[in-house]
Amino acid sequence: MRRILVPTDFSDEARNAYEVAISIARRTGAAIKLLHVVETPYYTSNFSATGDVMVGSDGMEQVYMLRLLENTKMQMSELLRTVPHEGVEVVHEVDVDRPINKIKRTIKEDEVDLVVMGSKGSSGLDEFLIGSNTEKVVRAADCPVLTVKHRIPDFDVREIVLASDFKREIRGAMDRFKEFQQLFGARIHLVYINTPGAFESSNNVRQKLQYTAEKYGLRNYTINVYNDVMEEDGILHFANDIRADMIMMATHGRTGFAHLLSGSIAEDLVNHTSIPVLTVHLK
């Protein structure tokens, strides 16, 4: 792992994510990029991130953007000053764009290995209508995304939940999962959630999980079948039962209408659990 991207909106959750990224960087030797994206309405599209005025912008727009960028740079300086990062290379960038567009472009151009983002979570109508930039990144990023809600002063992972239906090919994600397990020397708990609508015999499921573990050469793992009404609830309840430090899941990154129809358990977990969630997009 060489490059970690930390998008920040200067919220407490984003600061928590930055602290976790620093802990990971100290273990891996990775460099961190702090990125803040100024998302502007259509009428400020004639302004650049450096404060240069483009042709066609008016005086009020110039004043608004100059003040916004000045305030943003002060917040970035304060974040760099107040969060210790000795021994970790940290660079920062401020840009004017749509956050998801800039984040996707940065992942590609900088060859980012991991995105660490804060998540406020949401529920009800707000979740359905608005969504969050974190969800969008989980859905679209070509690299693993670790979402963090609460402050974890000494980020250390000992117990990891790896939840899946274990029916699809997850080889691309498994290499990333094993990398995190080895990074922390953690134990992986493979878990299949048995629900009334998709029930399988425990014996068949355990054989399937054992086959998966052997196929991918897992070490230090447990096999688990957990009964619950819904998959998301089962993952959360199981993770809480074993006091998991992290949940890992693969996501297919569906977008648009297909996403609304099918939903995404990984994205729901990002919203609803206080446990850090590592998602890997299946190409």
Tell me whether residue 153 is in a domain: no
What is the full DSSP assignment across 75-103?
Answer: HHHHHHHHS--TTS-EEEEEEES-HHHHH
> Do 214 and 184 belong together in one domain?
yes
- pLDDT band at residue 77, thresholds of 50, 70 and 90? very high
User: Which of 94, 107, 85, 101 shows the shortest CA–CA distance to 4?
Assistant: 107
- pLDDT band at residue 154, thresholds of 50, 70 and 90? confident
> Do 99 and 233 belong together in one domain?
no
> Do 144 and 169 belong together in one domain?
no
User: Which of 75, 114, 238 shows the shortest CA–CA distance to 164?
Assistant: 238
Residue 200: helix, strand or coil by DSSP? coil
- Boundary-marking domain end, from 121, 148, 175: 148
Contacts 24+ apart (CB under 8 A), 63-71: 65/40, 65/96, 68/38, 69/38, 69/94
Half-sphere exposure of 262 (CA within 13 A, CB side): 13
| Residue 222 pLDDT | 98
User: Which of 108, 109, 110, 135 shows the shortest CA–CA distance to 120?
Assistant: 135
Tell me whether residue 241 is in a domain: yes
Tell me whether residue 212 is in a domain: yes
Q: What is the mean pLDDT of the chain?
A: 84
CATH assignment at residue 26? 3.40.50.620
CB 33 within 8 A of CB 106: yes
> Do 29 and 132 belong together in one domain?
yes
- Mean pLDDT to the nearest integer, 129-140: 70
> Do 181 and 220 belong together in one domain?
yes
Residue bearing the bigger pLDDT, 31 or 168: 31
Percent of the chain residues topping a pLDDT of 70 = 82
Sequence-distant (≥ 6) Cβ neighbours of residue 186 within 8 angstroms: 157, 158, 159, 160, 180, 220, 245, 246
> Do 209 and 116 belong together in one domain?
no
What is the Cα–Cα distance from 276 to 133, expressed in whole angstroms?
Answer: 16
> Do 113 and 196 belong together in one domain?
no
Residue bearing the bigger pLDDT, 277 or 167: 277
> Do 143 and 185 belong together in one domain?
no
| Residue 130 pLDDT | 36
Percent of the chain residues topping a pLDDT of 90 = 58
- What number of other Cβ atoms are within 10 A of residue 154's Cβ? 6
Tell me whether residue 130 is in a domain: yes
> Which CA distances in Å does 257 have to 10, 33, 133?
31, 33, 18
- Boundary-marking domain end, from 148, 175, 191: 148
Tell me whether residue 154 is in a domain: no
Q: Which domain holds residue 206?
A: 159-281
Amino acid at the residue 153? P
What is the Cα–Cα distance from 81 to 89, expressed in whole angstroms?
Answer: 14
Say if residue 50's pLDDT is above 60. Answer: no
User: Which of 38, 7, 236 shows the shortest CA–CA distance to 140?
Assistant: 7
- pLDDT tens, residue by residue, 82-131: 999 999 999 999 988 888 999 999 999 999 999 999 987 544 433 333 34
- Mean pLDDT to the nearest integer, 218-241: 95
- Residue where the block lists tokens 């009428």: 43
> Do 201 and 254 belong together in one domain?
yes
What is the full DSSP assignment across 19-82?
Answer: HHHHHHHHHH--EEEEEEEE---GGGTTB-TT-PBPTT--HHHHHHHHHHHHHHHHHHHHHHHH
| Residue 260 pLDDT | 36
> Do 132 and 178 belong together in one domain?
no
